[in-house]
Structure formats: structure tokens, C-alpha cells
Structure 1
Amino acid sequence: MTSPQTKPTRILIADDHAMVLEMFEQFLSNLPDFEAQTAPDLETALDKIDAEGPFDLVLVDLDMPGMNGITGLSKALERNGGKPVGILTSNPTAHVVSEALALGGAGIVLKTESLKSLTNEIRFMASGGRYVPVELIDRPRAKVSKVSSNSPLSEREMTVLALLAQGQPNREIGTELGLAEATVKMHVKSICAKLGANNRTQAVIVARDRNIF
């Protein structure tokens, strides 16, 4: 059981499928460091946040009543007192992923994930991390041999971006391109600025969404 000194991580999960809610609530409530609550739609979720929040993490189903696309994420973020809110969905488009991150969302949780993976993802997001499943980042696209006409990036930045998409850290990118790690960091910072991204993960998603590579 959770010790008196350690408060459980409070999770609110909103989804309009009763079976999904029951599965999440049952699984998380059986873990000693979690306390789970549920809501069947956005309005009920917002009411719970107002009455009992903010929660350590709120997950909102992308397609449930009241969401109006990604707009519902903004509402939940506003009401949850600066604490993380993520999207729960099955197969989001690249646009949804990039927009959710741009709004300040904690990330994307796929309903197809295993429960073991779900536990790690929830812990990560509740602690302030931003999570996007690798399969959403690494969706195949046609390779380009030169800078796309709609790309604001230089050829070197495009090369760095392609390696970012493969999940390579700055040091490995530097080794592969014969660049100092500090130079790679500079390129990454420039890529993020030009694409309006907050971090390298979002930069890759935005680039794919805009068909830059």
C-alpha cells in the first residue's frame, strides 16, 4: 500500500466507452501508487476537475462527446491548473499529434497499448514528461534527396532532421555527420525555431505533417 508520506498519483480518464473506462479504472486502482477516476464525456471530466482537481494527469478521449476535435484538450488544460493533460485515442493523424503537443498536451496514449506500457507512459506524463509513441513519429514517408520546396530548412538542417526522425541523440548525429555536438544542438535549435516546435520530437512530427520530408 501507499505509505502515509506518499500520496497516490491521481488520474482522471475520460472516455465515452464504458468498457474502456472500466478496464482503465480497474487496472490503475489495483496499483498501489495510483488513484483513478473516470468520466464518460468532456463536460463531466471538466466538472470533476473543478470539484476535485487538479489531477496529476488527465487523459481525454479524442472522439468522445464535447471534445470538438482538439479543442477539448485546451479546455481540460485550462481547468487542470497547469498539470498535464494527454490525449487518449486509437490512430491519430500526424496533424492531431503535432497540434496536441503545440497546445501543451502531455502526449498521446494509444488504446492499443499493453497495460504494462500504459503504466510507464502514465508515470512519465504525470511526472512532467511528454510522450508520443514511436510508431507515430516513425511513420514511413517517401525519402527526399533535396530540400522540399515548402521547407524552411537548409540542406544541413534537413539531414539533421532525418537523423532526429531515426531517434538518434545529438552525439551520434555529430559522429555521423562529422560535427561537434554543440553544432548539432545549434542545428536542432534552429530546426525547432523554424518549424515552430517546442522540442525535437515535435519538430519531426511537424515536418512530417507538412510533408517536408
Structure 2
Amino acid sequence: MKPGAEQMNEHTPKTLNVLIADDHAMILEMFELYLAGVPDIDVRTVPDLPAALDAIDGHGPFDLVLVDLDMPGMDGLTGLGKALQRNGKKPVGILTSNPASRVVDEVMSLGGAGIVLKTASLKNLANEIRFMAGGGRYLPIELVEKRSGRSSDDSEATLSKREFTVLELLAEGKLNREIGAALSLAEPTVKMHVKSICKKLGATNRTQAVVVARDRKLI
């Protein structure tokens, strides 16, 4: 062994084995692309709860499991309990977009490791994963404020009929100019509608807006 190699190994971060389950392919792709550049996190992805439970049985327990709140097989938070049971004593958290205060309370009371918001920036995802995998219980600050009653209520701003139409075309993957051509709108007008949709849904970009809308069964 080279001099100093043993000392280097002592400080080499342990690779965390993480399972992410979500029925939105674009979400899984975003997470995979981001985490591919994180050397101490090895991620496996699956599309629903049954596949997650199979992965835990076959390749787990994982250092952290993240399950989408609304994907097939979850049956509300029943799926969280199943995943917690199957993953032994290792942590399981929830993926969602805009949970009600009641849901946040239930996740934490059931022993969930926390909640990761799909609408949040990915720049903090690795640290959130490390925190939960290390035994911490994570809630974004906006959910902490919601639980304490300092934030606005859970009611969402209503999309206009035109915004719904634009949102449906966004979900089809159409560009602004294509949406403008389909609806006889100028491209700056389409951009204005997209900005309004993102603001009302609490999303930071058009992709997240589509994910949030699907989570809320708006499209």
C-alpha cells in the first residue's frame, strides 16, 4: 500500500445506495442526470411502488429510499409504511410537489425521513439525501412554515382557461413558438402565460410546472 493510502481511505466518503421511485419519467431522468455527477451517491430508479418493493427485496436495504406520494401502488401514505417496513431500519422519504399540512404531519408521524419537493432546485438534492441517509429528518423551510401556520393556506391560484390550454400543450412538449402557432398567439404572449402558470403552480420552470400539474391531476 502506498504511503498515505490508508489515511486517504479513511476520509473517502461512503457511497450511499439510493432508490428513487416515481412514475414520471422526466423526474427520474432529471434525478439520474444530476446524481450521476455526485461521486458518493449511487442511484437506482423504478417507476412505481411494487417495483420499489421488489428492488428493496432484491438489492436492498438501501441507505435511503424516496417514493413519490402519488405514483401507482402508494394508496396515499400506505405505501410509505410498506416501504419503511421492507427497508428495515433504514430511512424512507417522500417525493411530492405541494403537500397539504396534513400530509406533512402524517409523513413525519409515520416515521418518514422527510419530504423532497420536486419543484425545488436540484442544487441541494445531494445534501438532502446525505442528511436523510445519515438519520436526519428533512423538511424544506416552506413546509416548516406551512406546518407552523406562517405561510398562506393550501388553496392554489386558479389557472385561466387559456393557461390550461397552454399547460396542456406544454405537457405535449411543444415549444413556445409551436404553442403560439397552435393558438394564434404571439410568442411573447405565450411566454407570459408560461410565467403565470409557473407562478401559480409554484414551479421554477416549464418542466416542473407539467410535473406539478400531473401530480395535482390538473392534466
| TM-score bin, normalised by smaller chain | 0.5 to 0.7
**Deviation digits for residues 99-129 of structure 1 (CA, Å, limit 9, x no counterpart):** 1111100000000111111111111101000
Change (3 A) 1:112 1:3: farther
Residues in 2 aligned to 1:92 and 1:71: alpha-carbon distance in whole angstroms? 16
What TM-score, normalized to structure 2?
0.61
Residues in 2 aligned to 1:124 and 1:80: alpha-carbon distance in whole angstroms? 17
Tell me the SS of whatever aligns to 2:119: coil
Change (3 A) 1:67 1:25: same
1:91 aligns with 2:67: no
Residues in 2 aligned to 1:29 and 1:46: alpha-carbon distance in whole angstroms? 23
| Alignment map for 1:66-145 (pairs within 5 Å) | 66-139=73-146, 141=149
Tell me the SS of whatever aligns to 2:42: strand
1:28 matched residue in structure 2: 35
What's the Cα RMSD here?
A: 1.9
1:59 matched residue in structure 2: 66
Q: How far is 1:3 from its partner?
A: 5.8
Change (3 A) 1:30 1:94: same
What TM-score, normalized to structure 1?
0.63
- Whether the 8 Å CA contact 2:49–2:79 is kept in 1: the answer is yes
- Whether the 8 Å CA contact 2:18–2:43 is kept in 1: the answer is yes
Residues in 2 aligned to 1:109 and 1:6: alpha-carbon distance in whole angstroms? 23
Q: How far is 1:6 from its partner?
A: 4.8
Gaps of 5+ in 2: 1-7, 151-219
Aligned residues: 141
Residues in 2 aligned to 1:84 and 1:28: alpha-carbon distance in whole angstroms? 19
Residues in 2 aligned to 1:66 and 1:112: alpha-carbon distance in whole angstroms? 22
Residues in 1 aligned to 2:102 and 2:87: alpha-carbon distance in whole angstroms? 24
2:20 matched residue in structure 1: 13
After the TM superposition, list the runs of 4 or more consecutive aligned residues in structure 1 that deviate by more than 3 angstroms. 2-7
Q: Which amino acid aligns with 2:108?
A: L
- Whether the 8 Å CA contact 2:38–2:126 is kept in 1: the answer is no
Change (3 A) 1:56 1:141: closer
**Deviation digits for residues 148-192 of structure 1 (CA, Å, limit 9, x no counterpart):** xxxxxxxxxxxxxxxxxxxxxxxxxxxxxxxxxxxxxxxxxxxxx
